[in-house]
Amino acid sequence: MPAEHVAQRIDGVAIAAAIRDEVARDVALLRERGVVPGLTVVLVGDDAASAVYVANKEKSSKAAGMASETIRLPSTTSQAELLALVERLNADESVHGILVQMPLPSQIDADVVIRHIAPEKDVDGFHPVNVGKLLIGHTDGFMPCTPSGVIEMLVRSGVETRGAEAVIVGRSNIVGKPMAAMLVQSRAGGDATVTICHSRSRDLHAHTRRADILIVAAGKAEMIHGDHIKPGATVIDVGMNRVADSTRASGSRLCGDVHFASAERVAGRITPVPGGVGPMTIAMLLRNTVRSAQRVADASGR
């Protein structure tokens, strides 16, 4: 790449805004049919970051015309109490989406809670039924919001995935694994050849340097630099880290898992942090909730 090269930025804020506009139109149509999409978020404890995320979800869902409720429980809540609440929400016909915000206090098993959420209301896409549907290519389940948001970014930015070498750094159940499952599907945003890298991968950078599409979701600040990237590649940075920075009044700054300054001199397209993948997660959550409400409306003949 020429020294003056700067990658095209993929604007997650703009793409997410377009999706939220689409959601708002769908909500208006459902309201005309007598169905108001309802999203309930459950927050257990007082984790500061979780509180911010939950507030943003509530604000965005209300802006789209949806019914939104946040149920806040103390950090001392028992697993039995939380499961009882989930069962009540499962039975509530006005609730189309249930999201239990993670992390949960140590006395609660997150996997048990996820399994208790009705799959048809699991708008986070974490229930084993929805995970299984994703893996085998069924489209009637819910896909996890962050990786499905990445697919939307790729498709709407005109990135060709068919036949592309896609490398994912990170193997979490939230991003890495479902991301791989989406990229190999035979549909828009898929048909890629996928490699998943992780902490036990040998010669990580040999893999990242051959990627046409590089998706980094490892949770390690600025671990991927420009010399780890194939010239012209599309780089999607899922990371969100706060690091010390004495030049900032706050004493810190947000950054991704990619060293942006060096990466944008090599990549063809790149997502910034913040303003990249982050806004897409909430947008896809809203879309999943509307899809759930549409199914209810269709099933009832409204």
**CA separation, residue 39 to residues 22, 60, 206 (Å):** 17, 11, 43
pLDDT (tens digit per residue) in 232-247: 999 999 999 999 999 9
* Predicted TM-score (pTM) of this structure: 0.95
- Which neighbouring-strand residues pair with 194? 166
| Structure confidence by residue, pLDDT tens digits, 81-117 | 999 999 999 999 999 999 999 999 999 999 999 999 9
| 2, pLDDT greater than 60 | no
Q: Which of 114, 60, 111, 59 is nearest to 86 (CA)?
A: 114
Contact 242, 260 (CB under 8 A): no
Give the rounded percent of residues in the chain with a pLDDT score beyond 70: 99
In this structure, what are the phi and psi dihedrals at residue 52, rounded to the nearest 5 degrees? -65, -45
| Residue from 26, 122, 124, 257 carrying the catalytic annotation | 124
> Model confidence over 159-201: pLDDT tens digits?
999 999 999 999 999 999 999 999 999 999 999 999 999 999 9
Q: Which residue has the tokens 């997660």?
A: 281
Fold of the 34-118 domain: Rossmann fold (3.40.50)
Catalytic residue among 26, 57, 121, 230: 57
* The pLDDT of residue 301 is above 70: yes
Contact 140, 188 (CB under 8 A): no
Distance (Å, whole) CA 296 – CA 299: 5
Active site residue 220: no
Nearest to 214 by CA among 170, 177, 182: 170
Of the residues 101, 212, 230, 237, which is catalytic? 101
Alpha helices in 37-117 (DSSP H): 48-63, 79-91, 110-116
pLDDT score, position 53: 87
- Degrees, nearest 5: CA angle 286-87-80: 120
Instruction: For residue 270, give the nearest of 216, 223, 204 by alpha carbon.
Output: 216
Q: Which two tokens stand for residue 256?
A: 């991704």
Whether 34-118 shares its CATH topology with 144-278 is answered yes
Cβ neighbours, 10 Å, residue 75: 13
- Coil, strand or helix at 154: helix
Domain ranges of the chain: 34-118, 144-278
CATH topology of domain 144-278: Rossmann fold (3.40.50)
Residue 107 catalytic? no
At residue 50, the pLDDT reads 87
Active site residue 59: no
Handedness of CA 212, 218, 221, 223 (dihedral sign): negative
Structure tokens at 277: 């993948």
Q: Which residues lie across from 241 on neighbouring strands?
A: 255
